Structure 1
Amino acid sequence: MRQDEQVQLEKIIAERTSELQKTHEETLKLLHFLQIENEKRKQSEIALKKAVSDLRESEQKFKTILNFSPSGILLIDLKGKIKEISEIGIELLGASSRQEITGKHFLHFFSKNSKQIIKNIISLTISEGLTQENELILVKLDGKQMLGSVSTALIQDSDGKPSSYVVVFNDISQRKKQQLNQIHADRMANLGQMASGMSHEINQPLNIISMIMDKMLYDAKKGNTVNIAYINERADKIFENLTRIRNIIDHIRVFSRNQFDYIPTAFSINKGIENALSMFQEQFKHMGIAMYVSLSKQLPNLNGNIYQFEQVIMNMLSNAKDAVLDRKALESEDFIPKINIKTYKKRNRVHVEIIDNGVGIEEDKINEIMIPFFSTKEEGKGTGLGLSISYQIVKDMGGKIHVESSTMSYTKFSLIFITNDNGNGR
């Protein structure tokens, strides 16, 4: 073989060897890649099996919660369709099977008056994440209604976007009746405690009538000439005071009536306070209690039961009266018992404040005074239910109670209600 052919052959062999080396390296890389991908696949299979297992476990837990929860639970998609319901929920809505409920729009189970409210609640759930203990009228499959406590929560997907809602509901019809019975019992107890005060309210106009009649009889016996204008003037005074007595008796009769069927309506806060004050004013004068009243004229109406609102004010005034009289018994004769009640509006909140200069409440007891049967009064003087019932009434009206006190100085109860009016009031 010639030398140039041998050189050419060696060159070809070198090129083929280089190509084989590259192919070998690429094959090794491919094998390594396949090994990695195979390992990833195995890991993915393991992760998938675990995810499926976790999902099944999660579904089982969810079904367990649904089946054993003491509350009715609805799982609702973003279109409002019911996807799942708990066993208790099936029973509460008067169904015999899950299929009778699932697939229906959730609004199907709310009364006409409650539909817009639950829509607003769902909108609030989207922005706030949850709502709690909203009282609404629910409708069963047979058309019967029940009073329900409804709470809602938003469920989000992995990207944080809303995916569905959970609605938790309970039938509170019996509980509400018990609360109303308790409220009525407390109202009657208040009337009993205020019997002496009401006697002052009625005695004053009776005394005025008596004095007018005595004067007319005196003039008649003396043979004085009595003209028509004189008789009309005296008759007007008599009827004015008779009307006052009739109004007091009518208000007591309505106030003491059972309010089970009362439909919440818009009412004047100031009117409710004035009605409550009418039960105390003469009694306070007789006891030497100075009463200061400052009611803003720029208040929106409040929605609820005016008689229950009056009951709250009467409870507050009764407690204030006891507090200032207790302090009066401990202070010198110069002490003047004072009770101040005022209303005002600040932004979208209406404030009602009852302030007294009585014995006050100890700091460690302020958080306990709303607990049923807790009382700072001596045994036999209070039921321990007044403030807890007041708290429930105010809460039902969408308000809250704030208490501030300093022993042997003052106590201030603030009732705060949120309104839809954002204007500033005084």
Structure 2
Amino acid sequence: MIHSHISLKQCVQLLQQVELFRHVPENVIEALARKMILAGYPADATIIKKGDAGNSMFVILEGKVKIHEGEHMLAEMAAKQFFGELSILDSEPRSMSVTALESTTLGLIHQADVYQVLKDHPDAVRDIIGVLSHRLRNQNQTIISQLKERGAELEKLVNEKTKDLVEKNTELSSLLLELRRTQEQLITQEKLATLGHLTAGIAHEIQNPLNFITNFSSLSVELIDEFNQSTDEAERREILTDLSSNIQKIYEHGFRADSIVKNMMLHSRARVIEKTETDINKLISDYMELAYHGVQVKDPNFNCKIEVSLDKNIQAIALHRQNISRVILNLLGNAFYTVNKRSKLAERDYSPFVRISSIKEPEMLRIEIEDNGEGIASTEMEKIFQPFFTTKRIGEGTGLGLSLSHDIITKEHGGSMTVKSQSGVGTTFTIRIPFNV
């Protein structure tokens, strides 16, 4: 918007008070004032955006502006000050953004107009270059001071991050020690008939997160060296960001390895719990509720249709109640997980559904858990009960839940656990336990 409320005489008077033109003859200033374009900007209006083409400088006639990079403000300027002056020397893109802090009137002087005026008045060139040189020296001193302050802050952050890294490495050492102890326990357990295969699986599963931890630790040490050698603020910020990301990844993979070790301990623990007469229907009802609410705590938006069908003719049966509870909780948790995951795909007309039922057969108790989730691919069916096999994302499962459940049913109770599934349709787990366990 062009303004006319400031006269040529007023423009000349204002320019005479601007540091850049303070020693420039009045006739030169008047020539520049005639070339100057007046423009008004409301508060919060963008005057210059970083990266814009630079071919003009600005003089603040009224109001205030801020020089900034994103949210970081470098300077605040008011009337009789100027910015964008380097654009009269070259046409490089703008290095900073400028925004009006209040209603502001600016005088815009194009590079070509400056050259034209100075061409006719060469004596004024020396004065203008002298002011620009002085201003650049002052800006350099300011930048150096800010860099020193920022360097101290960054060094403090690096020390803190390094301390965190050392702590994570200490945790890793403890984790490795715990793994060795757990492996020794596994060797003594008669229940692991295929000990050699399981040990190989353990080594493979543990090795993955440990490799990540080792690699990210090594990268972090290199980043710290790069940080200490770098003097560029932007580069040091980028290094800090990478270092924070590495520490987070070390934590995540360390947590996963810890989960694997803990589940291994469950897998290897000798079970000497005595069987007790158990109302299986009540146990199913209790753990259905527990599993459902457990999912809702993690995802308050979770909703699923549930059907419970319990055979009233089933009497109390001698079971390892705690371990059977773990099996039911695991299978229901998997069912709720897969229907919840599928529901987030926004399929048309999809309604999450889970059914659990108990059936009395002539010599067997049968429990079925059915869902209409994502299903299991046919290529994965034969591995479904293997230790450490999981279809969940990294960090969401250790792959020991179904393996533990299968052992509890088959080895502790002399029963069977089978699965039928179709990818994209759903899955049904069937448990059979003889009454005369």
TM-score between the two structures when normalised by the length of structure 1:
0.38
Q: Provide the TM-score with structure 2 as the length reference.
A: 0.37
